[in-house]
Amino acid sequence: MKRLCAAALACVLVAPELSAAAPGLLHFTPAERERIASHGPWPPTPAPDPSNRVDGRPAAVAYGRLLFFDAALSADGTLSCASCHRAELAFQDGRRVARGRADGLRNTPGLLDAAQRRWLGWDGAHDSLWAASVAPLVAQREMAASPAQVAATVRREPRLATGYRAAFGVDAGPDDERVLVDLGKALAAYQATLVSERVPFDDFRDALARGDHDAASRYPLAAQRGLRLFIGEGRCSVCHAGPSFTNGEFADVGVPHFVPGGVDGGRHDGLSRMRPSRYNRLGPHNDAGAADPHAVTTRHVAPQHRNFGEFRVPGLRQLVHTAPYMHDGSLATLEDVVRHYSELNEERLHSDGERILRALHLTPGQREDLAAFLRSLSTGGL
């Protein structure tokens, strides 16, 4: 009898967190369940962009899709948006550094769930999805066209002229900049439909919320342990918050911003470029004008010294399909990302910047668990 009692006690000591309601389910405290629930539900309710008058209109979505895959808008007729944002790679390109980035600094951001972002680009240089869509059309390192070239192409090409009329109700007029911005708004209307699919985590989260322990127990234990680290000791969810797993802001995460030839200014440079732009929400192309509730943020945000080396906190959905990682593409695998945060060099963090981060010093098993959870945020990740 004593041996039986001792064996039973050993089982309790080895696996005290397993739920009695379902053997394959960890026991999550009420506080942990609340944090888990905050990462849903998914998919989110669409939030129209008041600055874009054609957001959500089927004709504009169709026109934006046509534009997205059409190379005619580039200066030499060889490059389209889809050249760098490939659907099979979650609208990323799989390259360490974006095509055309001769400076070797930036990885191509994925476009899934982009409509939910307050700031676009790794440095937040754009305050709307349509402004972010205008930028590559005229950037010399990307599609390299001018407003005049873009507008002339739209007026000349029957498929583009017809699509413009269907999307905006008028023919492309003589104002080249207006035509350029309208194309950005049609592209944004299409990209707003690029919402990532549900993933294994969503099924677990919903099952846990409704008290269906049997369904929740189908989620692998390694992913459950990784989730507990993510919302608890690792404090990952402080920045990777909400249903999209991002707070939408910017942080220094210890990736060096001193690069060959100088400094990648990150958020500081992004704000310095966004504020004077004619394409921001304070400019003449905001369809809502002063009634746009997001314009006030653009008006009052300003670059600060601590913004050097800060980059946008990315959403984590479908991240299995968007390798390599970080703003500079310097980490090849999810395991590399987990190792980075486990062995974080805190001396590389700004002294006056983000101080949430600390080296996690994870065991090999904990690193595997955290990677398992991160993989569960993608379709086919488990």
The two most distant CA atoms of the chain are separated, in Å, by: 93
Q: Residue 85 belongs to what domain range?
A: 58-191
Q: What is the CATH number of the domain that holds 333?
A: 1.10.760.10
Does residue 41 have a cis peptide bond before it, meaning omega lies within 30 degrees of 0? yes
Q: Which residue has the higher pLDDT, 382 or 343?
A: 343
Rounded CA-CA distance 73/146 in Å is 10
The pLDDT of residue 129 is 98
Rounded CA-CA distance 365/148 in Å is 58
The pLDDT of residue 309 is 87
Q: Where is the domain boundary, 170, 191, 212?
A: 191
Q: Which residue has the higher pLDDT, 276 or 20?
A: 276
Q: Which residue has the higher pLDDT, 31 or 358?
A: 31
Q: Which residues of 264-297 are buried (b: 16+ CB within 10 A; e: fewer)?
A: bbbbbbbbebbbebebbbbbebbbeeeebebbee
The pLDDT of residue 191 is 98
The structure tokens listed for 235 are 């404090």
The pLDDT of residue 345 is 85
- Main-chain phi, psi angles of 20, to 5 degrees: -70, -25
Q: Which residue has the higher pLDDT, 115 or 20?
A: 115
pLDDT in tens, 133-183: 999 999 998 999 999 999 999 999 999 999 999 999 999 999 999 999 999
pLDDT in tens, 286-327: 999 999 999 999 999 999 988 988 999 999 999 999 999 999
The answer as to whether 168 is a domain residue is yes
The answer on 152 and 73 residing in a single domain is yes
Q: Where is the domain boundary, 191, 215, 236?
A: 191
The answer as to whether 264 is a domain residue is yes
For 197-208, what is the mean pLDDT?
Answer: 98
Is-contact 163 66, C-beta < 8 A?
A: yes
The answer on 169 and 272 residing in a single domain is no
Rounded CA-CA distance 86/300 in Å is 35
Look over the chain and give the mean of its residue pLDDT values, rounded to a whole number: 91
pLDDT in tens, 251-266: 999 888 777 777 888 9
The answer on 263 and 232 residing in a single domain is no
The answer as to whether 49 is a domain residue is no
CA geometry: angle 39, 91, 106, nearest 5 deg: 95
The pLDDT of residue 19 is 62
The answer on 221 and 143 residing in a single domain is no
pLDDT at 13 over 80: no
